Amino acid sequence: MIISFIIPGKPVPWPRAIPSIKWYGVPPNRIPHPCMIQPNNDDYAELKRKIQTLARENLHGDILLTPVRLGLDFVFPRIKTLKRPGRAPMRDAPDLDNCCKAILDSLVKVAIRDDRQVVGLIAEKFYAAEDEQPHTRVEIYTTDADFEFAKGDTKNVSPDSATHTEFSGHRSSGDEAGC
C-alpha cells in the first residue's frame, strides 16, 4: 500500500534544541544543571499541523502498525543565482536529516504509532524548477509482505530464486507471494 501527499510551502526543518543551564537552590548555594531547551518555532508548529491533517485525510483516521518505508522530497524555493534549468540538488542549509526529523515527528501518533516502525528512508532536497512551487512530497510504503518473506524459512531458498525488494515495496522478480 502506498500513501502519498504533498505539503505546500517551503520545507521547515526540525528546530534544534539549545543548550542552557538551569540553576537550583538559593544563593550562595546554587547548583548549575545543564539542560536542553526546545525553541518555540511557529513555522514548525504550523508545518506539524499541516502534515497531521494531510496524513489523517489520506489514512482516513487509521494509524499504521506495520513497518513502513518513507520517500521524502524537499523542494525549496529556487535561488536567483541558479542558472541550471529544472530542479537542482541543494547543498545548503537546512540539513536533510533535520528536514526528515520534522516529518517523522509529525507522523508519530497520526500515521504511525512510533518512528521505530520506519525501516527505510529515501530523502532528497532540491531547489525548485523555474515553474515549480516549494513543497514537500511524503510517500509512505507499507512493507507487510516483505517482512513476512524475510521472517519465513529461507533454508530452502536458492540464490537464484531469492528476490530483492525495491523501494516501492513490490518484488522485482516473478515471486507473486506478497505482491
Q: 15-42 as b/e, with b when 16 or more CB fall inside 10 Å?
A: beeeeeeeeeeeeeeeeeeeeeeeeebe
| Single pTM value for the model | 0.68
Q: What kind of fold does domain 2-151 have according to CATH?
A: 60s Ribosomal Protein L30; Chain: A; (3.30.1330)
- The radius of gyration computed from the CA coordinates of the chain, to the nearest angstrom, equals 21
Distance CA 7, CA 39 (A): 23
Q: 4-8, 20-24, 124-128, 134-138 — which is least confidently predicted? A: 20-24
Find out whether 57 and 50 touch, Cβ atoms under 8 Å: no
Strands (E) located in the chain: 2-8, 18-24, 31-37, 68-76, 88-89, 118-127, 135-142
The reported pLDDT for the residue numbered 104 is: 92
The three-class DSSP label of residue 45 is: helix
pLDDT top residue among 113 and 169? 113
Residue-wise pLDDT for 123-179, tens only, equals 999 999 999 999 999 999 987 644 333 333 333 333 343 333 334 333 333 333 333
Find out whether 123 and 99 touch, Cβ atoms under 8 Å: yes
128 is written with which cell numbers?
A: 525548485
Residue 73 burial (C-beta neighbours within 10 Å; 0-12, 13-18, 19+): middle
The reported pLDDT for the residue numbered 39 is: 62
Domain ranges within the chain, ordered by starting residue: 2-151
Q: 40-49, 99-108, 111-120, 161-170 — which is least confidently predicted? A: 161-170
